[in-house]
Amino acid sequence: DAKTTQPTSMDCAEGRAANLPCNHSTISGNEYVYWYRQIHSQGPQYIIHGLKNNETNEMASLIITEDRKSSTLILPHATLRDTAVYYCIVRVVTTSGTYKYIFGTGTRLKVLA
Amino acid sequence: NAGVTQTPKFQVLKTGQSMTLQCAQDMNHNSMYWYRQDPGMGLRLIYYSASEGTTDKGEVPNGYNVSRLNKREFSLRLESAAPSQTSVYFCASNLAEQETQYFGPGTRLLVL
């Protein structure tokens, strides 16, 4: 299974862009990268996902390198409410044809006033 | 539209006791999942149900059983709780296995 590696923690000033990196060097060609966040131990909240191309939605942008071995989640204007643990997840296809999320340990992002 | 709901929110058990964690979704999703999260860790898959009437083991199924009661509900049972099962349990669902998963608020379980 592909595994993800993320920094344990990061700080970001309020109003600035938060750039959260993720390494997934063993990812396979059909495996998607998903990002979720978890605020105060609540249920994980979906942010964005992608396969090859860069993606943007109302919450964030996802930049995937051309070789797909790493990606960066960008929160363009971080607010205090973005303080959370951010998980980079690889969605794998098992040998039985089912889909599975592989969670890492996440990055604890602290947005500073 | 409540999304994914879980009951109870908190539970304390003694070693050897049994209990059932309930999960329901009102999004007409076909697939449902049970995860556990230990302190400082990511989530690990216990069991999942790709569709009504089917269930399969995930990464850490030992000590648990599941029932997909109907399309809306997916329960997780601990027959004989152990301290190692102290964790936060999350239920999730998606329309189909390849789609984005949506998570419930979690059940915090302490086994003494």
pLDDT for the residue B97:
76
Mean pLDDT of A21-36: 92
Compute the nearest-CA separation of B67 from chain A (Å): 19
At residue B36's C-alpha, the angle toward residues B65 and B84, to 5°, is 80
Give the residue-averaged pLDDT of A57-70.
95
Measured from the Cβ of residue B65, the count of other Cβ atoms closer than 10 Å reads 14
User: pLDDT per residue over B1-47, tens digit each?
Assistant: 789 999 999 999 999 999 999 999 999 999 999 999 998 888 999 99
**B5 in Cβ contact with B25 (< 8 Å):** yes
Mean pLDDT in residue range A57-85: 96
Quote the pLDDT of residue A86. 97
Residue A80 near residue A70, CB atoms below 8 Å? no
Nearest to A104 among B42, B92, B106 (CB): B42
What per-residue confidence (pLDDT) applies to B13? Answer: 97
Residue B89: closest CA among B101, B107, B71: B107
Query: What is the CB neighbour count within 10 angstroms for residue A30?
Result: 9
DSSP A5: B
Q: Is the pLDDT of residue A15 over 90?
A: yes
Task: Point out the residue among A43, A45, A46 whose CB comes nearest to the CB of B106.
Answer: A43
Give per-residue pLDDT as tens, B60-103. 999 999 999 899 999 999 999 999 999 999 999 998 877 889 99
Strand stretches in B8-106, DSSP E: 10-13, 19-25, 31-37, 43-49, 56-57, 65-68, 74-78, 87-94, 102-103
The answer to whether A49 contacts chain B (CB < 8 Å) is: yes
Contact check, Cβ <8 Å, A98/B102: no
> Is A106 within 8 Å of chain B by CB?
yes
Instruction: Summarize the confidence of residues A17-39 as an average pLDDT.
Output: 93
Mean pLDDT value across residues A34-55: 93
Q: What pLDDT score was predicted for residue A2?
A: 58
Using 50, 70 and 90 to split pLDDT, how confident is the model at A1? low
Most B CBs within 10 Å, among A3, A33, A38, A95, to test the B interface: A38
pLDDT, one tens digit per residue, over A91-104 is 988 777 778 888 88
